[in-house]
Chains A and B, each alone.
Chain A
Amino acid sequence: MTELLIEAGRTERQYWMDLWRYRELFYFLAWRDMLVRYKQTFVGVGWSLIRPLLTMAVLTVVFGKLGKMPSGGVPYPLLVFCGMLPWQFFSTAMAESGNSLVMNSNLISKVYFPRLAITFSSVSVSFVDFLISAVFLVPLMVWYRYVPPATVFFLPVFVMLVFGASLGVGLWVSALMVEYRDFRFIVPFMVQFGLYLSPVGFQSSVVPQRFRLFYALNPMVGIIDGFRWSLLGGESQIYWPGVAIAVLDVIILFISGIWYFRKTEQTFADVI
């Protein structure tokens, strides 16, 4: 017989066990969000391709053609697309998971389950979108006759890094949103500014050398650099101290995100 102890002022010891017990709920929530995402849309899952493609086209024209930014010998659309991929994942994850708890307030105020499952599943849905978009990289590379270098095997490391960053930020934003709806306005700003503050439409090497360390404080700088390095090669493009900072950033974001989420989780049902 299972025994459960509910006590004031102490986080339940069973929490992480519960998270494991409720893993199927996590799966079902992610499945629900994916099913619902493109219901009653005409293009359906095609939106996962159209969005990054259109953004790629616009950024290529603005930064490549009009801004005449250097591309380091790589076709500019390819350069942009490799930056687009992690950025789009990060930004959708931030936007979607930010709203996730508030959108599920009826669940939170009516049934118990580890609330982490909601945020986690909403980040996972963005991850699936990311994977679908990534498939388009293949025809794009074929079109430009570009063979990815051997460094492509390091790609999973950077995918994990961007997943960690998305989850960390997602945890922060979703938990903050429960109490401070201000984040409903802040998040779109962050997404909008982030696109230009991160090296999505250009290479991070255009940033003057003395500012580079400071610039790398944005974890997406190291992550996008890493994506380009592993997919397109070019030893000179990558700025290793930046990658190291990104790793550190992600670890801090992730751990502090879980800490804050767990800290506020107990009162979600009272304040939501």
Chain B
Amino acid sequence: MNEAESSSNPTGDPDAAITIDNLGKRYTIGHRRANGDGLRHALESAVRSPLRWVRSARQRKQQDTEFWALRNVSFQIRQGEVVGIIGRNGAGKSTLLRILSRITCPTEGRVRICGRIASLLEVGTGFHQELTGRENIFLNGAILGMTRAEIIRKFDEIVAFSEIEEFIDTPVKRYSSGMYVRLAFAVAAHLEPEILIVDEVLAVGDATFQKKCLGKMGTFAQSGKTVLFVSHNMEAVRSLCQRGVWLKNGRLQQDGDANDVIDAYFDSLSTDLSSSCANPDYGLAIQKVTLKNQRGEETGQFCPGDDLVVEVAYNAQRRIERPLLALGVLGVNGTCFTSNMLLDGQRPESLEGTGKITCTFRSIPLLPQSYTVKLMLRAATINDIIITYREVAYFNVAGDLADYGYKGEFVTWASRSAPVVVPYEWRLPDGTVVDVALKRLAP
């Protein structure tokens, strides 16, 4: 270890919990790696003469698309820091965490970690459906790095935390999803690492559970442990983390105070637009797309039933006559709803200079999931597309469905359900009539 100590810590900070030095990870997106013909190719190249093999190795380099998921990333995390890692999908956040938790190896660079590390990349990893709750506590504990003695010592605490005492000897396949998640989180919450890595655990489960997770992470951070937190939920990052690290296209974009980094990140979403969401042929650029709620606050976080205000700021250097704008809100499974001038015919007479078009979607009937806003602009002659349908903004819907009168045993499945809820009414055989809508109940 001597060699490591002398060279891997450039600033020599003795408090460093994690030192990341010029880290890079390359993936090869090979066409040859298509399913099924792996072995055939391997055998083929082995059978061919060595000369050809060498040549084919060189060809392979050209054929395959190399892609750096992470490159030249260096930063240091001191002990006791709570760091939020932010960035768009595919920015390299998950790759970084996978390297830190040793699931995958870096292609270049090095990382030095001081202290016991535990990662919650997914709650309930390694749960086996056929095993009982008790058995799964032991198995999952061992997988997460606890020793047998440690699990035995904490067993009662874990069971109490999960609130499933009566079902502890029932196979988990008979659990409701709520019970399942509670048990899984209970095990994870009783790890005692010095460094905790959390990735999107908060994306699963209902709001109550999310609160519980955040609470646990808060106490963990307060007790002076180091936490690395990856999330799309900027509000959670703001409230939990002092420091933000923003990754963009696999590189370190900004590192500093969490609030500053998040603000810069939000700004960039719009500056990114003006450079790419423009059409010089028409002299038009979409400068900024802003999302606001009914109180006029700029945000990326909505509750079911909130108004979603989409403000499109444009700059038209030349006059554009009677253009057609379409906005779409997309969930993970596709488009949820749109506002489309092609259909409603409510088009502006012209666009000239700078200005805004605002569209308010009233009381969005969306379940807690993450969403994308897309935009398209067509010229008066509808065959000419000025700006093709593309992503311009992102937002999350979060909230405790219990506040909306939802009381299903499987309410956590809302994160995977079709996202739009049109108000409906149940009429049951016994004559009960129930109205259901994503409208917040009066407290």
Contacts and interface: CB of A to CB of B under 8 A. Distances in A.
A192 interface: no
Nearest to B143: A111
Interface stretch (A2-10, A129-137, A193-201, A215-223): A2-10
A108 B125 CA distance: 10
A47 interface: no
B114 A267 contact: no
Interface in A131-190: 179-183
Nearest to B122: A110
Interface in B99-143: 99-117, 119, 121-122, 125-126, 128, 130-131, 135, 138-139, 142-143
Interface residues of B, number: 48
Interface stretch (B35-43, B58-66, B156-164, B241-249): B35-43
Interface in B73-112: 98-112
B440 to A, nearest CB: 36
A116 to B, nearest CB: 14
A6 B131 contact: no
Given A112-B102, A269-B98, A269-B104, A28 B110 contact: no
A163 to B, nearest CB: 23
Contacts of A107: 125-126, 143
Nearest to A11: B105
B144 interface: yes
Contact of A1 (B4, B109, B147, B194): B194
A4 B147 CA distance: 19
A47 to B, nearest CB: 16
Of A1, A7, A111, most buried by chain B (CB within 10 Å of CB) is: A111
A7 B142 contact: no
B8 interface: yes
A183 B138 CA distance: 32
Contact of A32 (B39, B100, B135): B135
A25 B25 CA distance: 28
Contacts of B216: none
Nearest to A3: B114
Contacts of B142: 24-25, 27-28
A154 B432 CA distance: 78
Contacts of B139: 28-29, 31-32
Nearest to A112: B102
A6 B126 contact: no
A6 B110 contact: yes
A182 B125 contact: no
Contact of A111 (B35, B119, B131): B119
A40 interface: yes
B428 interface: no
B30 to A, nearest CB: 11
Interface residues of A, number: 37
A106 B126 contact: yes
Contacts of B145: 113
Contacts of A9: 107-108
B16 to A, nearest CB: 11
A270 B36 CA distance: 17
B413 interface: no
Contact of B128 (A8, A36, A266, A270): A36
Contacts of A24: 142, 147-148
A107 B144 CA distance: 10
Contacts of A32: 128, 131, 135, 139
B112 A3 contact: yes
A267 B115 CA distance: 25
Contact of B39 (A5, A109, A182): A182
A35 interface: yes
B442 interface: no
A7 B110 contact: yes
B131 A36 contact: yes
A39 interface: yes
The 6 closest A-B pairs by CB, nearest first: A112-B102, A180-B39, A28-B142, A182-B39, A7-B110, A6-B111
Given A5-B112, A5-B113, A270-B27, 9 more contacts: A4-B114, A5-B111, A6-B99, A7-B106, A28-B143, A109-B103, A112-B102, A179-B38, A267-B105
Interface of B: 1, 4, 8, 24, 27, 35-36, 38-39, 42, 98-117, 119, 121-122, 125-126, 128, 130-131, 135, 138-139, 142-145, 147-148, 194
20 contacts: A2-B116, A3-B4, A3-B113, A4-B117, A5-B110, A5-B113, A6-B110, A7-B106, A7-B111, A8-B109, A24-B147, A28-B142, A31-B139, A35-B135, A111-B101, A111-B143, A112-B103, A179-B38, A266-B105, A267-B105
